[in-house]
Amino acid sequence: MSHTTTHAISPEFNLISDWISPNSRVLDLGCGDGKLLTHLMKSKQVSGYGMEIDAQKNIAAIQAGINVIHSNLDNHDLTHYFDADSFDFVIMTQALQVVKRPDELLDDMLAIGKQSIITFPNFGHWRMRAQLVLQGRMPETETLPYHWYDTPNIHLCTFNDFEDLCESKGIEVVERAVVNSEHRSTLGMRLLPNLLGEVALYKVQKKRA
Amino acid sequence: MIPTPTIPQILQVDKPLQMVSGATLPRYELIYETYGELNADASNAILICHALSGDHHVAGVDADGKPGWWDGYIGPGKPIDTDQFFVVCSNNLGGCRGSTGPTSINPDNGRIYGPDFPIVTCRDWVNSQNELRQHLGIEQWAALVGGSMGGMQVLQWAIDYPEKVRHAVVIAAAPKLSAQNIAFNEVARRAIMSDPEFHNGRFIEAGTTPKTGLALARMLGHLTYLSDDMMGNKFGRELREGKLQYNYEVEFQVESYLRYQGEKFATKQNFDANTYLLMTKALDYFDPAAEYEHDLSAALAKATAKFLVVSFTSDWRFSPQRSHEIVKALLDNDADVSYAEVTSEHGHDAFLLPNAHYEGVFRAYMARVAAELPQGDSK
């Protein structure tokens, strides 16, 4: 278990941690080896579960000492397993773009959680746009290092796309942070997030009627 | 190095057992084996619960050189590490491997129990095992671990004796049998009971055994342990003689295999037919939610153990969906639970077989159980 404690916590996780209130109930979708949840348990005394589809990561998460449910986010497992408002936060880092129906998953997340925290890579970043416009090829970058044919990222979107989806679903953006691949934010990113931001962190909730 | 053979021990319980059926067992014996050493504060004990045809010899090698039925997963350095844990496994009451059962003598009349042995349920097993727990000086099990029927017994323990169970590992189990499960059991029972050698259950006194019926029951049971894919890969339509014979002899390899399994069970392993009937009935009756208006979440509300639930993708006897029901009920109670759905082509039998994901999960979880033990106990 020492490797989880000595490992540096990524800046993205620190940003998420800042958005989480202490003693919350948290569900981490695509929890991987459980690093984020372990961090939140220590820093914010949260309780809850991780969900993970990959067998090796499933093992690693158990090793890390978290409660992990091996499951496929494409199967509507969330609403099967959890009642409405079961969690204060449903978190999903860097997984929105790999699921079959991000829009339906977003609905499910906000059905079982009061708020959701979602992070994803921005396909509207200028380097993506430049590769497509200038080279006429699907972009490959450090944040998205795959070829078009083998990428697990089947539903890439821009920040604007995501915010449009939220708007159409009556979902309110409570907080947003836009950072580069080193998870730092600059003035330019704050002014032109959809052009200059590489990774976005959103905290969203259903609009109150 | 030749390992020391495992030696079973017998606990004689003189306290009558009030059974769920209403019957009372005035006294009984439980046969069990232990592996590893109980630590100073008796906090490292693990109870293994066996499946339908299993017994107390779960690990190590016995005096006849036979390895335990789960030896692959229990032993020094194995997922259930006997260098860290004190492992206990007993033969269920009603069994035929040394615990009091239909082949034992009924003290009331000096006759072999046979069909008079009272119907046992999962709860009766748990109550009798609780006597064993007290006898061994164990206040709380570090973990209860079981697959299939054994997994159900673990659930029952967690519900009936919440304060005695720290961790519950429920593998390839279900919260209750489906109509199809019960139907398979009923066909198996009919096969046994309609064998002319059954003699209304008094076959031992008649100097015989209902071999044919028992073998048929086992063939049927065995089918439900295997997956279609696995049978397809292993046997396909392969013929024993290389060409079709156009008769009723064994032609396909799969027929030969099933017959062998049935024969082995009924003759070589000498499994008691009355025990088979009892075990299948106990499975049929298992339904802990029934006393809670069929609400499994309510049934598990009292459980305080932390859970690991494991299922196997090709298991159609107790499919992953059945494990989802257990997981969901635990999640409803905000219980500590982890779940793994292991990809395997080996059907229900997979819980006894090597598999990297399964072993990884099992090992990682048991390491967590071990990490809670007082310092200095682990090597």
Contacts of A56 in chain B (CB under 8 A): 357, 360
**Across the interface, which of A49, A55, A62 has its CB nearest the CB of B365?**
A62
A185: pLDDT confidence band, cut at 50, 70 and 90? confident
Mutate to test the interface with B, among A62, A82, A90 (most CBs of B within 10 A): A62
Contact status of B361 with chain A (Cβ, < 8 Å)? yes
3-class SS of residue A48: strand
Inter-chain contacts counted by CB atoms under 8 A, chains A and B: 57
Confidence at residue B124, expressed as pLDDT on a 0 to 100 scale: 98
ipTM: 0.91
Can you say whether residue A183 is alpha, beta or left, with left for phi > 0 and alpha for psi between -120 and 50 degrees?
Answer: left
Q: What is the pLDDT of residue A188?
A: 77
Residue B360 CA to its chain's centroid (Å): 22
| B338 → closest Cβ in A56, A62, A80 | A62
pLDDT of residue B310: 98
Closest-CA distance, A18 to chain B, in angstroms, reads 25
Q: Do A81 and B327 touch (CB under 8 A)?
A: yes
What residues of B are in contact with residue A63 (Cβ under 8 Å)? Answer: 364, 367-368
Enter the tokens of residue B74.
């229990």
pLDDT (0 to 100) of residue A196: 82
Q: How many residues does chain A have?
A: 209
pLDDT tens digit sequence for B67-84: 999 999 999 999 999 999
Residue A5's pLDDT is 37
Asked if the Cβ–Cβ distance from B331 to A49 is below 8 Å, we say yes
Residue of chain B whose alpha carbon sits nearest to that of A77:
B324
Name the one residue in this structure whose structure tokens are 């190095």. Answer: B1
CB B174 within 8 A of CB B181: yes
Minimal-distance CA residue of chain B relative to A66: B338
Mean pLDDT value across chain A: 89
Q: Write down the pLDDT at residue B266.
A: 92
pTM greater than the 0.90 cutoff: yes
| Segments in chain B below pLDDT 70 | 1-2, 376-379
- Among the partner residues A60, A66, A70, nearest to B339 by beta-carbon distance: A70
Buried b (16+ CB within 10 A) or exposed e, A45-76: ebbbbbbbbebebbbbbbbbbbbbbbbebeee
Tell if the CB–CB gap between A69 and B337 is shorter than 8 Å. yes
Interface test with B, best of A69, A82, A83, A86 (most B CBs within 10 A): A69
| Residue found under tokens 């609780």 | B130
**Is some CB atom of chain A closer than 8 A to the CB atom of B325?**
no
> CA dist B7 to A123, B35, B60, B62, B332, Å?
66, 10, 10, 7, 43
| 8 Å CB contact between B312 and B230 | no
Q: How many CB atoms lie within 10 A of CB B95?
A: 28
B357–A80: do the CB atoms touch at under 8 Å?
A: no
